[in-house]
Structures are given as structure tokens and as C-alpha cells.
Amino acid sequence: MDTRAIFKASGFLILTVIGIPSNLFICCAFLHTRLTEAKLTPADVILCHLAVANLTSTITRSFSQMLTAFGYRNIYDDFSCKLVVFFFRVSRSLSIKLTCLLSTYQAVLVAPATSILDSLKHRIPKYLQHIIVSFYAFCFATSVHLLLYSSSNLINNTIPPYTFNYEYCYVTYPDYTFFISIGLSLFFRDFAFIVMMAVMSCYILVLLYRHSKKVKNLRSSDHGNSRSRAETKASFAVVTLVILYTVFFGVDNAIWLYSLTIVRVAPLISDIRGFFSILYTSVCPVVVIATNPKVKAKLKLPRLRGLPHSVDTSLPTM
């Protein structure tokens, strides 16, 4: 293996080793909470679906890319290729929309009663299932073209024009018009949600700054201040996720737009884009595990088993 192949294999191996168990742990943690406490907050539900989307992305893209980097070839047939590429694009799009929904809901939670967002405090939890189902339906509908144009092999082992090369699979479009229209539509579909989550995150930061000025003289032992600190931590965790996604999205889609302007993309450029397109699926669960009280509590269960329960579960979660 040359130097590029070693770095590529190592990078995707790290993403796979982190992404699969961490996202799986978050899913199991919320499932255990649902079975034992019979209730999840709207933020918990969103995070659980986000973990499922990230887990799917890791399996379909990071794991496949890792195998290819280690020299495995022809790991999928045409039918499997269509499913792998399709579910990767669906899960990636879902990840964007769910992160946007999470930032919007957190902005609604911290918004004052005089804000126009206050009316959503009861509407989002009430219609949360409908919102998430509509996200799934939209992502499936806008990614269905991949089932038509994905394949595992190339004719004469030559990459034709207007082809996205995943190395383990190929997506070949019939002409330039279709190639550019699909590419731009996918970009603007995701970019709209990126802009919305960025606006909501800025709104959260402004509210937190104003609130910190009001409560800076309160005693740290005050109950309201304690609850406020918990909400602040949750808000900063959400903002962190948004910032990370925006940075990764920026790199990924800058290369995506560049690839639309040329017939064939250099392998190194494709590797960089592939890495950033799934980097969030490994970083996101680490942030969630480090900041979400319910998920962190599951890590302590084996150590606390048999000891008196003294954990306060009344604080809001991310």
C-alpha cells in the first residue's frame, strides 16, 4: 500500500470504529430509557433518530470505504450497490434535517414567552412524529434516482463521463444536463436546512448571552439558576453539533460543487470529500455521549448497580 492508501484506510477505519459502536450505544441507551421510564423527551426522540441515521451512514459509506481502502474489490453486486448508495444518501440527508430540527427545538425551548417561537413549544412535541415521518418520506423520494443509476461494475473498466466514483460503487448519469440538475438540486435541498440551523443556533447564542447578563449576580445554589445552567449546557451542545455540521458540510459541498464543473474528479479530491461527508457520523455521537445526561447515565449503570440512586433526573436533556 502506498502512503495515500495507508492514510485513507486508517482514516476510514477510525471513523468506522468510533461511529458504529457509539451510535449503536446511543440507540440502545434511549431504547432502555423508553422501556424503563416509558417516556422520552422530544429532544431524546430526535437524537435517537439522528443516531440511527448516523449509524446507517457509517455502515453504508464508512465501512464500505474502509474495506475498499484495504484492498477488497467487488464487495457488492449491482442490486446491493443500489441499496448501499441509496441508503447512504437518505441517511445523510436525514442527518442534516434532524440536526436542523434539534437546533430549532432547542431554540424554541429557550425562547422567551414574548417570542414568535413560543407558539411552537407545544406544537413541535405534538406533531413530532409527523415531522420525522415527513423527513423520512422526503429523503426517500428525493434519493430514489440513485436506484436507477447506481452500479457495481464499469464497462471495460473505464469510468464514463458524469460519474460519481465511490470506488465500491458508481453512480453514472446519462448526460450533463441530468448530472448538473441532480447535483444542484441535492445541494440546495441540504443548504436550505443548513441555513435554517445556523440561524437558530445564532438565535440561541444571542438568548444565552442576554440571559447570562441577567443572572450573573444570582447565587450558584439557586434552583432556578441550576436549571438555567442545565439548559445552557444543552443549548451549547446543540450549537456545537450545528457548528461541526456546518464546517463538515462546507468542505464536503465545496468539493461537490467543484466536481460538478469537471468530467472526472482526482482520486485524492474524492477521498477528502468522502472523509468529510461522514466525519459528522463519528463526531456527533461523541458530543451526545459527553453532554446528554441520560446517555451518560447508562455508562455509569454497571458501576452504580447495587448502590442507592442519588442521580437527579429532573434536569432537562439535550
Give the N- to C-terminal CA distance of the chain in Å, as an integer. Answer: 43
Distance CA 313, CA 125 (A): 20
Tens of pLDDT, residues 102-159: 999 999 988 888 888 888 888 999 999 999 999 999 999 999 999 999 998 877 777 7
Q: What is the mean pLDDT of residues 238-249?
A: 88
Q: Can you spell out the DSSP letters for the chain? A: --HHHHHHHHHHHHHHHHHHHHHHHHHHHHHHHHHHHS---HHHHHHHHHHHHHHHHIIIIIIHHHHHHTT----S-HHHHHHHHHHHHHHHHHHHHHHHHHHHHHHHHHS-TTSGGGGHHHHHHHTHHHHHHHHHHHHHHHTTTHHHHEES--GGG---SSEEE-SS-EEE-SSHHHHHHHHHHHHHHHHHHHHHHHHHHHHHHHHHHHHHHHHTTS-TT-HHHHHHHHHHHHHHHHHHHHHHHHHHHHHHHHHHHHHTTSSS--HHHHHHHHHHHHHHHHHHHHHHHHH-HHHHHHHHHHHHTTSPP-----S---
pLDDT(313) > 50: no
Give the angle subtended at the CA of 149 by the CAs of 146 and 150, to the nearest 5°.
75
pLDDT given for residue 264 in this prediction = 67
Q: Which CATH superfamily is domain 3-296 in?
A: Rhodopsin 7-helix transmembrane proteins (1.20.1070.10)
Q: What cell was used for 74?
A: 467487488
Q: How confident is the model at residue 85 (pLDDT cuts 50, 70, 90)?
A: very high
pLDDT(221) > 50: no
**CA 178 vs CA 1, 3, 145, 228, 260: distances in Å:** 37, 36, 11, 51, 11
SS3 239: helix
Q: How confident is the model at residue 6 (pLDDT cuts 50, 70, 90)?
A: confident
Q: Where are the domains of the chain?
A: 3-296
Distance CA 113, CA 147 (A): 47
Q: How confident is the model at residue 55 (pLDDT cuts 50, 70, 90)?
A: very high
Tens of pLDDT, residues 157-199: 777 888 888 888 989 888 888 888 888 888 888 888 999 999 9
Q: What is the mean pLDDT of residues 30-48?
A: 88
Please state whether the predicted TM-score (pTM) of the whole model is above 0.95.
Answer: no
To the nearest whole percent, how much of the chain has pLDDT over 70? 86
pLDDT(314) > 50: no
Q: How confident is the model at residue 229 (pLDDT cuts 50, 70, 90)?
A: low
Which residue's entry shows cell 428525493?
142
Q: What is the mean pLDDT of residues 77-81?
A: 92
Angle between helices 78-110 and 223-259 (to 10 degrees): 140
Q: What is the mean pLDDT of residues 80-90?
A: 94
Q: How confident is the model at residue 7 (pLDDT cuts 50, 70, 90)?
A: confident
Sequence letter at residue 90: V
Q: What cell was used for 59?
A: 455502515
CB-based contacts of 121: which residues, under 8 Å, 6+ apart?
108, 109, 111
pLDDT given for residue 228 in this prediction = 61
Distance CA 259, CA 159 (A): 14
pLDDT(225) > 60: no
User: Please, are residues 149 and 171 in contact by the beta-carbon 8 Å criterion?
Assistant: yes
